[in-house]
Structure 1
Amino acid sequence: MLINGPIGATATDRISTFTVGVIMLIITLFVIFHFINSRYGRNVMAARDDRIAAESVGINIVKTKTIAFVLSAGIAGAAGVLYGLNFSTLVPAKFDFNQSILILVYVVLGGLGNMLGTIISTFILVLLPELLRFMADYRMLIYAIVLIVIMIVTNNPTISQFIKKIFKKNKIKGELDND
């Protein structure tokens, strides 16, 4: 049922694919979070930040990049299998330039190196067009405006500090009210 599930297109098959997808997501996040906090993960981050400094403290850059590549290829392969379960044939047209840009937007808006931010931004940017579906003609316009606002807010240190200050004031005010 796991391999042949979605092709039959019954409700039970789709639920099984969704369940497998959620389980794969949880396993992937578990592996990535533990990899980041492991010795190899710290080596990858050191090589990413400054290759010369990483080599000077004895990190084997070739081995480190190979480990990162193998891990990412394995995760991408598992995602490809899950994606392929939903279709009887896979064609390159499904992975066009727009799809690549969309994935890049998820990562950049979430913050490079910020797993939680990437998950939240992906969730919002996947859900937003569906929530705006009732506004047929203006849906993508509002989506673009939200993207621009998010980019401005996340990349502007003045606005980010202002928002943090507002949350701090509300937190302090809430603590004073409780006392």
Structure 2
Amino acid sequence: MGTNSQSTTVMATEGDVPAPAQFSDDTAVCIVSVKGLKENWQRWSSEHQEYQKNNPFSHDTRPSVVVPQRGQDDYGRPLQGSMTEQRGKDAHTHISKEVQELCEVIRSIGEPRHKDLDASSSNGKAITVEFGKLFEHYVTISNKLVGILLRARKQRLVDFEGEMLWQGQDNHVVITLL
């Protein structure tokens, strides 16, 4: 009665695998053929060599893949159908949802104010909120408020003074929902 389990490896030659010897219940038997190990290693080696031929950071690169040059439409973009392209699309969708959520929060906590006469709005009213108030309400939703505000301003959904907003010093900056 042993409490320690024992592991035994039986190596076989290139021929058939012999029948394992009888062992007690607490002994594990693992039968490995040398031929199988060699074939697995060869397969992995061949796959790795093919991968390295297409790897631009490898010293074993071959110019078999046409790389887009600066000025072409697909320059700086991932390959069509690749996992990188899919991750980029997923990230774009996620950020778009966060920008929409930000606009809804501004709409719900903001106050309607009259715009100046040069405003492009037809009714002359806009919804505004101070950054400090928005930060207090939005902090439980996301920790990326300033980045999402910058993205929303780039998409011309909101407007505010300055390039960057800092909590504390910019609490009274007015954010306008366009």
TM range (shorter): under 0.3
| Higher fraction of helix | 1
TM-score normalised by L of structure 2: 0.24
* TM-score using structure 1 length: 0.24
Query: Which one has the largest radius of gyration?
Result: 2
Q: Greater strand percent: which structure? A: 2
